Structure 1
């Protein structure tokens, strides 16, 4: 390796200390030959210049060694994670394959490398984490949770190294991702120390002036804060010593990011944030006496200072899902100031600060044999987010969600997000249980599906074999898991029902020896008011539509279209004539097409888009075949025809009395779904002379109905009179001509 070219002078000075630190942290887990093989791979790769510096100019070997120290020292992972970190760039550059790594170091190392390479590929495709990439990113996490832990450590390292980076845009992007993705993930995994560091550094790079304003204020008030902490601690320390407890007390100042969030939330300056620090009482207790001595210390503190009962947080009796245990209480200290006191043991404190590493240490686990149980819980936490992950905000909210703890009748404990309902709990236990759920007994009392659960509730789910998931259940549940399962069940039900309804309809056509024309059926579905075909078949499945009635309407529509084609659209030229009119002043005006039963000479069709009838204001449009289509002047297509094809427009008007001819007109009726309203409508139509009801379709929903009526009418006068009468029917709100 040409170290003079690959490493700068400063980097060469960093190499040996980093190497020794890594050996110290992971030496007991490394296998014979690991170091020799690793060095050989890195030397070979560097010699080919395959290892490239990143956008900040960071040396990949140095950066990976620094990240490996964080992974080992602050998270607690050892051989597999460290080797994967050091070797994934070698595999990504093509110097060796994942199979080579598997053969030389084992599947554990190779598996982590595959996950890291997938993540790097996603980043290379897009400089920002978009929703699609984020979904794939989480899928890669789910394969091996160590990938996400290494990514958090890597981002912490990058944030530490880029304070003097010249590429300000790249630094801002890295800082935003640190606050938006990595800090919430670290919080979820119990890595509070790394989480706070990510948030503070992100604020430093994105809100430089705010960060240093708060930092300067903290420095300026440090002496006064230290004096107050000493005054608060002194009497507490004396009482704890008298009780014979082994402990130490320290004051912990809030992170700069937390203070800034308080300032924004409370809309106040720095001076308005009263709880700038917390007092932490850390007991040196044996495992079997931990809870007893924590509550003893709690009693001593609250005897001396007035507690705020609303601010008690007991994560001692029921720890958080990430392992966090502590008692938090806010008390009224000297000078009338509220002070947060955290009471925990040495074991609990290390778990809170270091997360996974402390879990292993206190469970007496050596190496990485204890990964499975903890990583399984992490995987479940991540998988509880919505499977389609439309937006990162949603996932971020899920990460910060508080939890409630509920019990089954047998005493089993389950964790759910705050605000979870009975239905959420049912789906949390099992999908089949959720689909059959009709309610529950909470603490012995019958409650509905939408009942919100509280911590400590004992819940017994009640089911029925006739119950099926409903669409409005999506408004009841709050957890992503339940929402996903309900959507999946609804989709499967709808698919089965519509397929069955379609088969039933087509079988009925076959039984009645009627030819099934897909085009005619599509037009019928549209005329009946269904915008989506699946809604039509769903209505058949639900029993809202009768198959025999549909077939009758189909035959009627088919016949009417054939009749119109024969009787109206393709009439001979005997019924039309072009009559030039000479104005009285002798000037020449445009020809007018006069439509009359006795005129001859021109082929025409009545346009289907607006269905003109005698009495409508109309115009003629010369079609490409030479015939003329007659449109209403208020036709939806009129404006476009005049604008684009003005040279093909001819004036037209009705002549004669229009007697003896009837035209199909569709009316849309909307109103309240009252008993007898359809009867009243059909009764009015039947009493009208010269008007015939051809078909009627009614769709009822939530107390309203909308219907389409097809009537045969001779002219606009009769049509307008009918519309006026229909509007007088009780419950009818709207009548419109289509």
Structure 2
């Protein structure tokens, strides 16, 4: 543990004008407040915040951050208040300590809710000041170093999992790779102890057997650079054990099959020498295609810069080489912390862009599970680079689509996307973007986010924005549907109902507002009897269920969106023109069936609502079963009939063979029942078709 004078001397070494008295008072305050508290190791508890402060001095952080590290547990673990810290050490320190304290556990909630709430508070705190994150990462790193003292295996694994899932990715996102690697290694040891022992044992054996080879390769690289007059430091190292295990899992290979477990780093004085060194490497040894990345010209989102390449040395041995300048090397080890030193002028302005994205996700996520899902998506995945037509660069996770790209540029652009071009070619919106692609987004003021996009977007920002719109649209349309159902209920009452009775009903039901009432009716959280009783107390005793069906009172679903306010049943695939009825179960949207659907008999637990399509209803999917003669051109002839009648083919499935005949089920997009019948008639008239009928779903 650092002694008081040692801590002060460390800070003075890079910040000669530091307020020593203030540092000393903070040190003494932390020791006094934690008093006789002990850690799992048996050490005095105050040794922990002092060691965290020592980690902050390694990063050459400012005075307020060092004091925050000393005091970061006092509010959570002692009787100290934020106000007391503010009075003794200033409002900035109080704000930082309060930010670090935001991750205090909320025991009353479920595991996911607790994790989400911790993450929510933490993200808000770091969006205000990144120093909160730096202190918290150092706090977690020191806790991981002493994790083995905790007796409970379950507790150790829980802390290790939290570290692997949240803190290591956060360290990577701010470029603190040393912190990230050590956290991953310590967590890996707890989560996969057998794999940890096996891989570290293999690495130790390689070290004993091939230590001379490591030196030989490093010397060969250094000699090749020296021959060309390039000054550089060359260092060889083994790959990180967790990184090796991850590659084994992803590639489904054994340890022996991995060929790039050794990496070398070349550190040059400046950027120009980086590219000179790269030329020497590629001129002297063959490079492995597909394994070259230039993060100097296109840095990672966290600011990381370096050139990565893989070379073939003697005996076809693959060797990974990283080339960077001294400044890049410093930044790669401590990331954003390198810009948060004691010199105010070096500090970065504003939030990191990825933190802005996380805060936007935070504001739009509906529940704990959604927040954790979106945040993990934003933090974890490997990145690619794509360009706008004007050359602006955007980083995205692997597998990202044009929808993800549009939302990365601007939320409004994502909302209005109708199409995309990749490298000048029109592509479907679900097309994955490759590294280096130029993406042009086509938009329309009349477009809105589609629920179907959720099946293929990969970024948390895009998913959160789409879900936010769908939730808003769903509520709006369910209010509209509930209003129509309310009017139908009121029509059956023996007396007219005015605004006063409606307001009284809202109050009796304790439901908030008229819109909330209509939404509850649309979602069947209230039955017709409940609404009647709230409007005219005592009247529900005389209520008689309506006779079904009653087409004269049918509710029009015109203007409502399929999949939002209602769903078309897969069992009968109704189309406009079919006689329809809705089944409404508690907490679910209305499911629309054709009147002769066999599945309606299963709807005894649901309210039945008489529905009608309304004029100008949107088209729907219909299914045909067509038996064709098995000869060239038969399917083309049928497809031509569909095209002539302007019906889009949605899906084709072969369902049977019978000698010279084949039977297909074909899903078509049709306008209405008449449109469908014209298509069926035209199909039956074809010589290629033996039989054609409409079928009702599954």
Q: CA deviation at 1:487?
A: 1.7
Equivalent position SS for 2:395: strand
Q: Quick one: which of 141, 155, 162 aligns to 2:123?
A: 141
CA distance in 2, matches of 1:172, 1:498: 44
Equivalent position SS for 2:303: coil
CA distance in 2, matches of 1:218, 1:734: 58
Distance 1:65 1:507, change over 3 A: same
Contact 1:671 1:704 in 2 (8 A): no
CA distance in 2, matches of 1:454, 1:173: 36
Partner of 1:623: none
Partner of 2:343: 367
Partner of 2:566: none
Structure 1 residue 390 and structure 2 residue 338: aligned? no
CA distance in 1, matches of 2:570, 2:351: 61
CA distance in 2, matches of 1:678, 1:35: 80
Distance 1:147 1:346, change over 3 A: same
Distance 1:40 1:462, change over 3 A: same
Partner of 2:70: 86
Contact 2:4 2:27 in 1 (8 A): no
Runs of at least 5 residues in structure 1 that lack an aligned partner in the other structure: 1-10, 520-530, 538-554, 563-667, 684-694, 706-728
Runs of at least 5 residues in structure 2 that lack an aligned partner in the other structure: 506-518, 526-542, 551-568, 581-593, 597-608, 614-618, 625-691
Q: CA deviation at 1:323?
A: 1.2
CA distance in 1, matches of 2:354, 2:188: 27
Partner of 1:204: 189
Q: CA deviation at 1:470?
A: 2.4
CA distance in 2, matches of 1:669, 1:228: 65
Alignment of 1:324-403 (within 5 A): 324-359=304-339, 366-368=342-344, 370-371=346-347, 373=349, 375-380=351-356, 382-383=358-359, 387=365, 388=367, 390=369, 392=372, 395-403=375-383
Q: CA deviation at 1:16?
A: 4.7
Equivalent position SS for 1:703: strand
Structure 1 residue 98 and structure 2 residue 95: aligned? no
Contact 2:339 2:348 in 1 (8 A): no
Measured against aligned partners, the alpha-carbon deviations of 1:394-445 in whole angstroms (never above 9, x if no partner) come to: 6445423122333334433333323222222333333333222222344444
CA distance in 2, matches of 1:164, 1:502: 59
Structure 1 residue 31 and structure 2 residue 15: aligned? no
Distance 1:279 1:99, change over 3 A: same
Measured against aligned partners, the alpha-carbon deviations of 1:21-63 in whole angstroms (never above 9, x if no partner) come to: 54346754743641343245346535xx4x6223443422211
Structure 1 residue 318 and structure 2 residue 298: aligned? yes
Partner of 1:306: 286
Contact 2:83 2:94 in 1 (8 A): yes
Q: CA deviation at 1:229?
A: 2.8
CA distance in 2, matches of 1:326, 1:247: 14
Partner of 1:691: none
Q: CA deviation at 1:311?
A: 0.9
Q: CA deviation at 1:501?
A: 4.7
Equivalent position SS for 1:454: coil
Distance 1:281 1:389, change over 3 A: farther
Measured against aligned partners, the alpha-carbon deviations of 1:121-171 in whole angstroms (never above 9, x if no partner) come to: 44x668x96344334323323222333322221122122234455555544
CA distance in 1, matches of 2:490, 2:579: 31
Aligned residues between the structures? 540
Distance 1:23 1:296, change over 3 A: closer
CA distance in 2, matches of 1:560, 1:280: 78
Alignment of 1:589-628 (within 5 A): none
Q: CA deviation at 1:68?
A: 1.2
Structure 1 residue 182 and structure 2 residue 167: aligned? yes
Distance 1:673 1:257, change over 3 A: closer
CA distance in 2, matches of 1:257, 1:474: 32
Q: Quick one: which of 378, 385, 394 aligns to 1:414?
A: 394
Greater Cα shift, 237-246 or 175-184? 175-184
Contact 1:142 1:379 in 2 (8 A): no
Contact 2:140 2:167 in 1 (8 A): yes
CA distance in 1, matches of 2:546, 2:131: 65
Partner of 1:468: 448
Contact 1:389 1:395 in 2 (8 A): no
Greater Cα shift, 323-332 or 147-156? 147-156
